[in-house]
Amino acid sequence: MEPELLRTLLMNVASTSRLAVELFLMLQSDSEESSDDEIDSADAPDTKLLVAVTDVLSTVERRLWARETSTEWWDHIVMQVWDDDQWLQNFRMRKATFMGLCAELAPTLQHKDTRLRAALSVEKRVAIAVWKLATPDSYRSVANQFGVGKSTVGIVVMQVCRAINRILLRRTVTLGNVQDILDGFAQMGFPNCGGAIDGTHIPILAPPHLATEYINRKGYFSMVLQALVDHRGRFTDIYTGWPGKVHDARIFRNSGMFRKLQAGTFFPDRKITVGDVEMPIVILGDPAYPLMPWLMKPYTGKLDRSKDRFNYRLSRCRMTVECAFGRLKGRWRSLYGKLDVGESSIPAIITACCILHNICEGKGETFSDEWTSEVQRLEAEFAQPESRATREAQHSASRIRDALKEQFEAESQQ
């Protein structure tokens, strides 16, 4: 290659690449030497240039095709300076909880350095994902915050969410101590209750295929999360991925939890007697769910005093699931940001947020009042559709509900 031509090419990129500068200076030096010394071979300048290029490439990092970015903020401010309040505000958990999460995920997320680049640390990968889930920030904003590429953020978020789901789902979203749950709901006024069930709509962008299936009764695109929670508001079963147009009862009937409840294998076989009726462990739902021997729901239509009292007790316990959804969305603000990923990836993100919710609740992480205010504002923008009530009821289930109604009435008069 003509030295003059190569010099021109290198000058055009010298302002953005240190490698180009080094090559240019070497070429310039070679050119000056060739004018002073006699060179017998016409190929000598090209040979010298080739050697120079090889030497530089073997000793410097990739510079022409990888943008250099600063990681000062993450390495020296967040990791070394921030206190627990700052960690909680930005990552929804204290540093100790965050580092514990990283330790759990490390076997899956640990990547090795290559000759071309240093791998992102596990801590930085998890931080990028948690920051994206906890804020409404765009991918570009998160990329600038952490000194990485925009595409890297998208890749890392999905890697971390899938790792969380694969490693922690079965250990974190679980019934745990069933007797503890039964005692908790009994103290709230409902005997032999193993949880409260409901669905919530997560706003999404319009999918490219079958978009109308995702439009819910409030007119926005959404995906449904069905969840069962315990008396403390922790998720004990989750099921997500159905389009917003689908009724809660249909989603429920297609869930693994429904099949297990129907088979009597979801809860231990612990029955109590109410009046003269035997009652298994039950879950509590709203009028959209079918009345089953193991699922109690409110009375509808004309209500007398005893039915009102039953509905009050059931509603008081069902508040746990509504509060859990509020705290879930308050912590993981991206769930109100019209998730900008393909619909096939959305369930992984929602599931990961549920797992992180349980981790934060279990570790006693503070829930900020300002997050509640933000949720209330967003709930007005993305109102939850009201599911149509279903009148489906089994005779044995009606007998159990009536027996509970009579017991609650009798207790109120003591």
Report pLDDT digits (tens) over 142-197.
999 999 999 999 999 999 999 999 999 999 999 999 999 999 999 999 999 999 99
- The Cα 31–Cα 5 span in angstroms is 12
pLDDT at residue 64 tops 80: no
pLDDT of residue 392: 63
Model confidence at 2, pLDDT cuts 50, 70, 90, reads low
Q: Give 294-347 pLDDT, tens digit per residue.
A: 999 999 999 999 999 999 999 999 999 999 999 999 999 999 877 888 889 999
Q: 227, exposed or middle or buried, with CB in 10 Å at 0-12, 13-18, 19+?
A: buried
Is the separation of the CB atoms in 251 and 237 below 8 Å?
Answer: no
| Closest to 403 in 3D by CA, of 192, 230, 257 | 192
Average of pLDDT values for 46-56? 49
Q: What residues are paired with 361 via a beta bridge?
A: none
Pairing of strands 222-229, 277-279: unpaired
- The Cα 168–Cα 355 span in angstroms is 7
Model confidence at 46, pLDDT cuts 50, 70, 90, reads low
> Percent of the chain at pLDDT above 90?
68
Is the separation of the CB atoms in 296 and 279 below 8 Å?
Answer: no
Model confidence at 398, pLDDT cuts 50, 70, 90, reads very high
Average of pLDDT values for 61-83? 69
Instruction: Find where tokens 């002073």 sit.
Output: 36
| Closest to 176 in 3D by CA, of 149, 190, 192, 194 | 194
pLDDT at residue 210 tops 50: yes
Task: Tell me, rounded to whole angstroms, the distance of Cα 216 from its chain centroid.
Answer: 21
pLDDT at residue 38 tops 50: no
Of 412 and 33, which is predicted with more confidence?
A: 412
- The Cα 289–Cα 230 span in angstroms is 18
- The Cα 313–Cα 307 span in angstroms is 10
The stretches of 135-209 forming alpha helices (DSSP H) are: 139-146, 150-172, 178-188
